[in-house]
A and B are shown apart, each in its own frame.
Chain A
Amino acid sequence: MDWLINFLTEFPQMSRQGLRDMKKMIDGSYREFSREYGEAIESFFDPLLWFLVKFEELLQITPWPVVILVVAGLAWWGARSWTIVIGSIVSFLLIGWFGMWEDTMSTLAIVSVSTFICIALGIPLGILMARSDRLQSMVTPVLDIMQTIPAFVYLIPVVMLLGIGKVPGLLSVCIYAIPPIVRLTNLGIRLVEKEALEAADAFGASYKQRLFGVQIPLALPNIFAGVNQTIMMALSMVVIASMIGVAGLGVPVLKSISNQYLALGMMNGLAIVVLAIIFDRVSQSFGLRLQKHRHGAQHD
């Protein structure tokens, strides 16, 4: 009887020794792998690093009035709204006035580059997923993992492989931020009305004509929601990424957590929020502007 009670109350566990050996084995082989291929993989990302560094440098050396002008110009180009333009100018002036200019430029650089990467990879992947149910069923769980696994957990292998610095930071931001754009591109294309597609087929549209002429334009609301989400997630990841050496607004936030600097933390946190709002409004209204048919009087 004793063994039965024991069996039921204590979970049958792997032996301590065995568990330790297993972990050691995994750690060891991964370490081996990173020693072996780490450099090669790092050099693979060199162009990316170069791009990021140059972009950041450019933002840093450009005189601040020029940067503000460019931001205002982009806001106008994207949104065509004076409120957003003036809002952006005032926010940037305040950020500079409170001494956060350089950090903001660094954050702007990494968010822009990672958003660009996410869009460049995510939209094509979403398109492919929409085309094939099998690919969808393979990619979806991966996206689920990427979205739910605590960011710290995948920071470990990334850091082991690439060390501390911009590239691993960029990579972890991308891992965190890419799922929404992939998901929403896939969803958007799958939700395109069957009738509109059938009409395209009936008139002899080729695959390309169908994709670029019908599917993508009609999926735009969802695709833009994805772009938007990706930007927001990239911005929120900036703080965590600063733990592995990404410069920017996350660094002072991290510092204020460990030192209980309320004001510093708040100011930098709010700067991130301001960036998020500007990105959000500009990208949203740009997306809306691309869909002219949604304006004007509707019948019925």
Chain B
Amino acid sequence: MRDGSPPAGAGEYRALSRLISRIENHPGAAASIIADLWSRTGRARRVGLTGAPGVGKSTLADQLITAARDGGLTVAVIAVDPSSPFSGGAILGDRVRMVRHSGDPGVYIRSMAARAHLGGLAAATRDVAYVLEAFAFDLILVETVGVGQSELEIMRLADTVVVVTAPGFGDAVQTLKAGILEIADVLVVNKADRPGAKETVMQLREMRRLVPHHDAWDVPVVETTASTGAGVADVWEAIRRHGEHLRTSGELEARRGRRAEREVLALVEAALASRVRATVHDRGEPAELLARAKRHEADPHSTAKAILERLIPPEGR
């Protein structure tokens, strides 16, 4: 790996920070920014941290930063927190747990409010991750909002997904449910000094036997007490081993390929959708069809089919 020196120099963090704000605040600006720095992306290790609110994601992130720095890696953190659905405002408090890295120029921490985006990340997180890659950070840690059971977007962004849980977050039935636990490449039971930790670990190991990982990888279940650092070395080792597995099995290329495909299709769909919206509101026939549906004279399915056939003739599809 590289030598752990600051990737772009502390003075350049201002430029990096401004760039990230532009992407957050002007979705239209992202296209040219990403195109310009694309050749410098793709070299960082992306690790996602997800789990319910209060399980200790930020504290674990803080410890993982230390582990990465000790290993000579530079680290960028994206910490996403929820936005108020009413005011749009947010309190971003994740960096409170990571403040001891403040004087280290090899560490960059950026909070993001999820804004109206669902899925555990902000809409701009995907592009911000590319920017951080281009600024040559070795490791990008992405901490999601405190999630429930189906905010799974992190699996589309990270090479390795660490799902953090803690004792007292539900019984054996919870661990059988689909969703969040299925996307884990590494399972962490944090707050292992609390009662019930052993049972939680046992239940997760049991679950793991019943629901094998989608990619022939034996998901480790690691106990930690992030507040003291106990077990963090094991998490770091599990992340390292998963990285090795990704490389040797060819799964890294496969994951990144799927990611690229999804991103391209999502961008095409979004662009098409906005064109369709514009057209439906100003062109004669589709606008008339829409008006009929609004008057309850036609059902939504037939209307959509009819509009689509006028916008994209069937033989052109």
Whether both chains belong to one complex is answered with no
